[in-house]
Chains A and B, each alone.
Chain A
């Protein structure tokens, strides 16, 4: 058994050296690099939403994330701005098994109320921005058929077609993934007629504690003319979060890691 593992690892390494990753490996590694860096992490996010007319709305929140095994994750999002969202918490227990929905809650401090959010469309806007829920917590790799359409010196270019096209607003999307960091740098979403609907771009990347990390990303909705810029700061990995933070106790009493 051990020998087989070694063999597979060696084969994987060889493929990597030759630059011949399989499509499945590329999407898996890109997924790991984008959403699973470290055992856990925290970041401050400033979201600036500018609509077609130029009016600006901002959201500020801290995200705590923890990998909880077999692809599952927990997220704790503590809002600081705008004032009407102040101290609200969005809690997610992400599932990856087929047929299993994520559990999501919103904590409303003025009512002292933990409200369950019905599982549903992950393609809807996250807090009114041009990012959708799936951009924040990741889209299941099983949801799309992946196809390597181009390999350049720096990037893999993948075309992704949804297995269940009725469930999403796009007909396909193309992703450019950096070979070196395995981070997706750009995604373009197209409708059935091939018209560009939406773009998401990682415009700034830095290496933090050894993990290549997106520190600025931009989402554009070409139909509405709205743009959202996310900037990430105070990024930390492997901070030793306790899993109990992601429970009702710490909705009622936000932990130091979330507020300070």
Chain B
């Protein structure tokens, strides 16, 4: 393994170094165009802290160089941001797949922003999209997530996967309106067993050798997604209504005929509010997940509809120490129909899945050392996911971090417990320019 590493690294590393020096040069000199060029080089290595029968012992060995350019034109701005990656653990690194982010190049953003009207902005192209009020819990944010990056321990920015979409915002005086049209479904970069293993509801282990391969949803304009948000400030509270028409973002359905997981149809209707209360910030969010292909709840291969709710509160506990707590619940509709339809040998989910989270962040040494821990705890599933991290800013350009991902659970098949083979720690070194 080491030998292989040695033979491959020089070529790719040379590429990265070349990129870096080009970028460094460009940023040091006056750019020949009206714009800005920035980025970073991030090296990261991680190991599993327990054995996993179907995955590599190391879970991260990568070097990535991100280039971020912003160019101003008279009527619009052009942004291009992409990562060149050398990933020792990836197969077929030469094959670039911009949808899944596989290969040696991951295009994060490539979009133009313009204002067709004084009260409207439009962003067209590849972009990162986020909305909603939860902290690492998402109800109405149905934009693609990269759960592999999240659990492997890449920087948290990689939790958000890019969307290829048209994002139109309108700002009449009484309300703000956001409309997002994604002409071809952008799935989550979901956990498939390739890099992160798991146990399914039957207790079966899924790893590299039996990684799941979902049916594609890639027909232009028919496998499309619409997301909308209406928001406004009411007496200091940020309130919003949401609508989503598309598909479950991970392949949670099972196509019996095609014998493969797939992305069933989904609508979501939701609302949120956020504002200051009790010397802190409070937020509420809810969403009704209308599982369009199984409204009766009797199909065991398609998830039932659900009502989801979260509430959060964050405040400063002491100087440079903040805490955030959240309560989150998923309430499965038509639970009896679900329970009746289960095939023998499949574990049943609970009707209500409760999750509590706690985030603690401590800044030390003139805010150059940041210690944080984020914990998910489900009292109903009796499982835990802990994410400790320490980041130190060595200088304006250099930073280093240590991160961990730890899963505990009484049972193998629960939401976090099923990742019990993926406990890991990693170390990163980053140069920003």
Contacts and interface: CB of A to CB of B under 8 A. Distances in A.
Interface in B148-189: 156-157, 159-160, 169, 171, 176
A124 B396 contact: no
Nearest to B39: A83
The majority secondary structure among interface residues of chain A is loop
Interface string A79-95: 00111101100000000
Interface stretch (A115-123, A149-157, A187-195, A205-213): A115-123
B322 A118 contact: yes
Contacts of A82: 396-397, 432
Contacts of B269: none
Contacts of B156: 111
B274 to A, nearest CB: 7
Interface string B316-330: 100110100000000
Interface stretch (A31-39, A51-59, A137-145, A231-239): A51-59
Given A83-B40, A83-B433, A249-B171, A57 B396 contact: yes
Given A111-B128, A119-B281, A253 B121 contact: yes
B276 interface: yes
Contact of A260 (B72, B127, B130, B396): B72
Contacts of A249: 121, 169, 171, 176
B366 A128 contact: yes
B113 A127 contact: no
Given A111-B128, A111-B160, A253-B113, A84 B171 contact: no
A17 interface: no
B236 interface: yes
A118 B366 contact: no
Interface string B180-211: 00000000000000000000000000000000
Contacts of A116: 274, 281, 314
Given A57-B395, A83-B433, A84-B393, A112 B366 contact: no
A248 B131 CA distance: 11
Contacts of A119: 276, 279-281, 315-316
A248 B320 CA distance: 26
A226 interface: yes
A95 to B, nearest CB: 10
B265 to A, nearest CB: 26
The majority secondary structure among interface residues of chain B is strand
A244 interface: yes
B366 A123 contact: no
A179 B363 CA distance: 40
Contact of B367 (A110, A121, A128): A128
B315 A118 contact: yes
B38 interface: yes
Nearest to B66: A110
B366 A224 contact: yes
A120 B315 contact: yes
Interface residues of A, number: 36
A125 B127 CA distance: 33
Nearest to A169: B319
B368 interface: yes
Contacts of B169: 249, 252
A101 interface: yes
A113 interface: yes
Nearest to B170: A249
A72 interface: no
Contact of A81 (B130, B279, B396, B399): B396
Interface in B111-144: 113, 115, 121, 123, 127-130
A103 interface: yes
Nearest to A226: B366
B391 to A, nearest CB: 10
Interface string B99-113: 000000000000001
Contacts of B397: 82-83
Contacts of A127: 367
B432 A118 contact: no
B366 A51 contact: yes
Contacts of A226: 366
Contacts of B72: 259-260
Contacts of A244: 171
A248 B38 CA distance: 24
Contacts of B276: 101, 103, 119
Interface in A58-115: 58, 81-84, 86-87, 101, 103, 110-113
Interface in B240-271: none
B433 A112 contact: no
Contact of A113 (B39, B68, B130): B130
Interface string B69-82: 01010000100000
A84 B432 contact: yes
Interface in A222-260: 224, 226, 244, 248-249, 252-253, 259-260
Contacts of A123: 319
Contacts of B395: 55, 57
B157 A110 contact: yes
Contact of B432 (A83, A101, A112, A248): A83
B279 A248 contact: no
Contacts of A121: 316, 319-320
Interface string B391-433: 0010111010000000000000000000000000000000011
Given A55-B395, A58-B396, A124 B319 contact: yes
17 contacts: A82-B397, A82-B432, A84-B432, A101-B276, A111-B160, A112-B128, A112-B129, A116-B281, A120-B315, A120-B316, A121-B320, A127-B367, A128-B366, A128-B367, A249-B121, A253-B121, A253-B123
What 7 pairs between A and B have smallest CB-CB spacing?
Answer: A120-B316, A83-B432, A82-B396, A110-B157, A128-B367, A112-B130, A112-B128
Given A82-B397, A118-B315, A120-B316, 10 more contacts: A82-B396, A83-B432, A86-B38, A103-B236, A111-B130, A116-B274, A118-B280, A118-B281, A120-B315, A128-B366
